[in-house]
Chains A and B, each alone.
Chain A
Amino acid sequence: MSHYQHVKVHRQRALVVLPIVSLSLFFLSWELVVDFGLVPQTLLAPPSAVVKMFFAKLTSTAPDGLLLQEHAWISIKEAFLGYFLALLVGIPLGLAMGWFRLAEGLARPIFEFIRPIPPIAWIPLTIYWFGIGLTGKVFIIWIGGIVPCVINAYAGVRMTNPVFLQMARLYGATSWQMFRTVCIPSALPMVFGALQIALAWCWMNLVGAELLAANGGLGFLIQSGRKLGRPDLVVLGMVTVALTGVIIGLAIDRIEKKLLAGMRR
């Protein structure tokens, strides 16, 4: 083995070992910091307590009244309702805004007006309008998710290769035909990009909405953990939110790959 190859193998090994070392150091110091009382138990739960809490919450409704799965199911239901409504309205709107001047002229000022308002800011109004049930949260998630959908679909249509459009026009395509057969397919990768961004936004706004107004869901779990002074419950809620978000994100990634198979990116 030449010297060069030897060095290379050595380096590769370091790159495999280092992440494991850093992760175990992270968890170990987290565990020890709490166990040795550097940080009081009332402020932070060690990872072991979180894992214990996780298994306990799968079968026990104490102390907040619902099982962990039930909380997760409530959150997922709300997030998906809002998410699909956002896709259903946002993507066609963005596509139309990118191509039709009428749609752009009518929708753009309102969109620009609503866009900079953080979705969380709608929470007080939605509590007035819909109470603290499902509808209000779906509305907040919807209004947060619609923004990336519109922006990406709009940008996708705008970035259509002008040569394709010229060619379509040369062959006598009508405006609608060009929109349907050229703009929409070429905007698809951007639209799929929006799916992930919108999902992340929806998931974040969901937690915000549930912190402020809810009687179930993962955000509610976090909030009740704080109110009861139970950091293990808070951390468990945060970890479950993160995990669920990652799983949904991966699922959408898979669907995206399936649907876009054969399309050049």
Chain B
Amino acid sequence: MLESKGRPNRLGLWGWLGGGRWGLERYLYTLHRLTGLGLLAYFLLHIVVTSSRAISPERWKAAMDSVTGPLFTVGEFLVFVAFAFHAANGIRLVLVELGWAVGKPIEPVYPYRTSVNFQRPLAVGAMILAVIVMMLGGLDFFVLD
């Protein structure tokens, strides 16, 4: 490791969250992490709670009754919203990170048009898809059900 007597100046967590001056993809990156953590927390509990279906109808019903009520409905809807975002943005990320949606190398002529600009329509499309799924979910959760 290199020796240095300099003063540390790493941005740390602010470097992850720092928005404001940054572009759309930075917010999508942050949201992808937050929704991922939320979905994982729900999923781990979900495995435990739904395992009761293997025991008996009574245990299943008791487990389901313990997670009903308006608070749980709203909570579940938030999970659905997180799923819709994470899934739609995930489709974009697979296409981008496997190099299919970043464009070919080009001659950099000012004003530069980068891979971030190239994939922007995909990012917007993914967000429109996410909002449509969220709205369908909202309709099912709060209007039709």
A and B form one complex: no
Residues of B whose CB lies within 8 Å of any CB of A are none
Residues of A whose CB lies within 8 Å of any CB of B are none
